[in-house]
């Protein structure tokens, strides 16, 4: 099977291994290689063919669609799995923008609303809201980025805890809402609702705000099919979505993914189904047929990155 589990390139700089990406750090740039790793429960569960390529190609599409709103870190896409970006000082807050009240995690709007929270610091939600309902206007629910577990923040906390200077914070909020508005507009033309997403920003040495990492990928964003949304809501059903949770749930039901040292192998049919879903959502977002790359992925990437070798 043509998959990319990890890379180990010797001449690209210091390596940092994230959940999905292998990142090589140079003096003025970073090289981000998206692998096919599928992570949950703070560990890698499986390898999903073409996942890394989907993430990179989707981000490429969205970076091009939004560069009139904010500069982004992209220098080059030398390979279907790779983006080379400008090195920035990363701002330590993830900008989570939400257009609907939904979610199942401890930081989600719906979970906290169910617990009785109405005042979220920067906005107050009315009584009587239902899960998956559209908000009157998109809201920002920032979270910490470098702490062990994500923690919800408010504008007041961001300033008081000195995560960002007030002027930078204000600009980042404005940019995030503009990006989300553009994302919803473009997605709707593709038959999709962009429900929520997260953005990451950095500062250049000249203190220019720059969009970094990824944008509107199926890993960083929630998408629903627009055509069936209202009908399913009226029938009391969950929206038709891009669902990658079924594999995570399988692991939860068949082992203890937090405690078991060795995990069972993911069922082949589930792996292939998830791969197919990633490819389909990429095609729907970009409007282009997905080009399946053949051959040894690692060797191809190594060849395409030769010009970035530090000793040449």
Tell me if residue 44 falls in helix, strand or coil. Answer: strand
Mean local confidence (pLDDT), 205-231: 96
Q: Which CATH class is domain 89-234?
A: alpha beta
Mean local confidence (pLDDT), 274-289: 97
Within the chain, all domains assigned CATH 3.30.200.20 are found at: 14-87+244-302
Region label for 178, one of left (φ > 0), alpha (ψ between -120 and 50) or beta (otherwise): alpha
Interatomic CA distance for residues 130 and 18, integer angstroms: 36
pTM above 0.75, yes or no: yes
- Output the pLDDT for position 312: 60
Give the length of the chain: 312
Q: How many CA atoms lie within 13 A of 180 on its CB side?
A: 26
Would you state the CATH architecture of domain 14-87+244-302? 2-Layer Sandwich (3.30)
- Output the pLDDT for position 1: 64
CA angle 50, 51, 52 (to 5 degrees): 95
Mean local confidence (pLDDT), 185-203: 98
Interatomic CA distance for residues 244 and 250, integer angstroms: 11
Within the chain, all domains assigned CATH 3.30.470.20 are found at: 89-234
Q: How confident is the model at residue 31 (pLDDT cuts 50, 70, 90)?
A: very high
């Amino acid at each position: 099977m043509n998959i990319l589990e990890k890379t180990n390139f010797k001449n690209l700089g210091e390596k940092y291994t994230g959940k999905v990406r292998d990142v090589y750090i140079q003096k003025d740039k970073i090289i981000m290689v998206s692998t096919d790793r599928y992570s949950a429960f703070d560990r890698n569960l499986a390898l999903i063919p073409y996942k890394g390529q989907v993430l990179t190609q989707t981000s490429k599409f969205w970076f091009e669609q939004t560069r009139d709103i904010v500069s982004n870190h992209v220098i080059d896409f030398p390979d279907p799995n790779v983006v080379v970006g400008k090195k920035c000082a990363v701002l330590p807050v993830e900008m989570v923008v939400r257009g609907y009240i939904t979610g199942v995690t401890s930081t989600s709007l719906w979970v906290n609303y169910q617990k009785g929270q109405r005042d979220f610091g920067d906005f107050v939600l009315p009584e009587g809201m239902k899960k998956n309902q559209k908000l009157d206007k998109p809201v920002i629910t920032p979270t910490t980025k470098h702490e062990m577990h994500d923690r919800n923040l408010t504008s007041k906390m961001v300033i008081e805890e000195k995560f960002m200077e007030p002027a930078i914070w204000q600009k980042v909020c404005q940019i995030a809402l503009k990006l989300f508005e553009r994302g919803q507009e473009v997605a709707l033309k593709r038959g999709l609702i962009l429900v929520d997403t997260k953005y990451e920003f950095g500062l250049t040495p000249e203190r220019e705000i720059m969009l970094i990492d990824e944008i509107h990928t199926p890993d960083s964003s929630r998408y629903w099919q627009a055509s069936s949304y209202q009908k399913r809501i009226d029938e009391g059903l969950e929206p038709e979505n891009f669902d990658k949770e079924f594999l995570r749930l399988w692991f939860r039901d068949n082992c203890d993914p937090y405690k078991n040292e060795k995990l069972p192998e993911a069922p082949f049919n589930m792996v292939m189904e998830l791969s197919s879903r990633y490819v389909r959502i990429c095609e729907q977002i970009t409007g282009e047929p997905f080009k399946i790359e053949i051959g040894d992925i690692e060797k191809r990437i190594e060849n395409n990155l030769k010009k970035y070798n530090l000793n040449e």
